Amino acid sequence: MAALEENMSALSNASPSSSSSSSSTPKPASSSSSSSSLSSFVTSYLSASKLSSEASGVSKYYFGADKEAALGSAVDKALAAIDLATSLLPADPPPSLPSLLSPAEPETEGPFPHPPSTHLLYLKGSALVSLSAPSPDAEALLTKAVKLYPGLAPASYWNALGECFFVQGKHAEARGCFESGVRSAPNKLGYQQLSMLLRSMAGSPDAAEGEGPVRLFEESISRAKSGVSLDLSDSDSWYVLGNAHVASFFAVTHSPADLQKGLKAYNRAAEIALEADGQLNPDLFFNRGKVRKYLEDFGGALEDFGRARDLDPTLPAAGPIGEIRSWLARASDLVARKGRVKPKRLTTMTKPLLSATLPPVSDASSTPHSLVAISDLPSEERVAVALRIVMPLGDASITPATYLAVDREETCVVLSVYHLSAELCAKITEKGTVTVLAPTLKTMSGGAAGGGEYKGVQVGDPKTMLVNGRMPEVGKLAPATVKMETFGLKSSEDKE
């Protein structure tokens, strides 16, 4: 914008009349009028560009309770300025006008100068797309801008038209636009939008023949990586990459590696945003909170949900915050009080564990496990821990399935099992035995937020445990589950 303002004086002297006059020749009376008209147009054009950008900023980064009103006001101001600039557009602009008015956006704009009349169409359509419910006029304006542009339109034009199609659910058209944009000029916004779009297309009729969910998620991750590679310091690109990995984990791969890659991308996005001390994306913290809650990092989850709520009070963060606090209070109380089971009964329950032996286990190593107690963990040896189930602690359909369990020394812990099918879950009953191979003992707490603390044993893969002495059948394992809309597109997310 500063560069445009610097060109105002040049534009004022660039009228056809002045360019053909010498300094010693008196200017015709019409020259002053022409110069004044051109100056008025430049002023209104600068204002239109600025207000259109501000409307986009409100759409992406303003999260107050009055967002709808604030956004509507910002768009109305932008549209008024654009209409004024359009009315003042010179009928016979000087040849230098397009290049002097072109915004300096080398990443997205490509090598072409903007024809002023065409760019005003783009500005108006882009402002309308910023609205929560885009106007039907936006598609027509942006389509016309793309068609009228000489040569291949800039990436920003294609991205705006693609977003217009995207929010209408026209996925194939949106994909074509975003791909045209990155062909015009590789740009991180285009790659971000493509990544989101491809995720949303998985399993939909808009996917091309032969494009199953696995392929679409792989391409979504690839496109997100392309965006990151263009600017390693862009928080939004890292956030989109995190969403791509996490959504792929829950939807198709169920590979812990994907989940960890997603979490690392979220962490990098948060680091960059916090270091920049600029606008923070509440969805980033909300989504990371979801992943941390899934992984039972309750302290981290409470911190993220709290920040997300502070940034955007409309996000449903209060629910998971309450759930975590309630869970920590209940679980820590049950572990401390050993499930309120009477001592004599607890001794009876654990007596078989004192003489328990580990049946032969066919796994990657021939080295046998040795049975130990919770107090022996963590251990660098190849060990296993046998637990008696005291009671289930929640709905088994919620991941992970959780149980209050006790070891041979009558130490109580919470046993968390991921990927547990309903059939296998039915076999884990009160007084049943679960033997965990290579157990991981963790301290679960609310961190700085408090709320309770307890010891827990996590089982990431049911194939690493025995249920009543038997290894689960592979076909009886269940995929990871979570509300997928958290990691898909809501066009505001990406405005991500």
pLDDT tens for each residue of 392-407: 998 766 779 999 999 9
pLDDT of residue 8: 44
Alpha-carbon distance values, 258 to 30, 126, 243, 315, 444 (Å): 68, 35, 10, 26, 23
Residue 267 has pLDDT above 50, yes or no: yes
Helix axes 136-148, 116-129, angle to 10 degrees: 150
Mean pLDDT of 110-133: 82
Summarised one tens digit per residue, pLDDT across range 242-266 is 999 999 999 988 888 999 999 999 9
pLDDT of residue 120: 93
Cα gap 394→117, rounded to integer Å: 62
Q: Which of 189-193, 199-203, 380-384 holds the top average pLDDT? A: 189-193
- 165, pLDDT greater than 50: yes
CB atoms within 10 A of CB 440: 14
Cα 365 from Cα 464, distance rounded (Å): 13
Q: Of the ranges 123-132, 162-171, 184-193, 393-402, which one carries the lowest mean pLDDT score?
A: 393-402
* Domains of the chain, CATH where assigned: 1-19+28-186 (1.25.40), 342-476 (2.40.50.550)
Q: What is the mean pLDDT of the chain?
A: 84
pTM: 0.85
The span from the CA of 47 to the CA of 78, in Å, is 8
Q: How many CB atoms lie within 10 A of CB 164?
A: 26
Q: Rounded distance, CA 161 to CA 197, Å?
A: 14
**Which comes out higher in pLDDT, residue 40 or 100?**
40
Q: 264: number of CA atoms within 13 Å, CB side?
A: 7
CB within 8 Å of 22: residues ≥ 6 apart: none
Instruction: Tally helices (H) and strands (E) across the chain.
Output: 20, 8
pLDDT digits (tens, 9 = 90+) for 307-364: 999 999 989 999 999 999 999 999 999 999 999 999 999 999 999 999 888 877 655 5
Q: Give the residue among 490, 494, 484, 434 at the shortest CA–CA distance from 213.
A: 484
Per-residue pLDDT tens digits for 80-120:
999 999 999 888 777 666 655 655 444 444 444 578 889 99
Confidence at residue 495, expressed as pLDDT on a 0 to 100 scale: 36
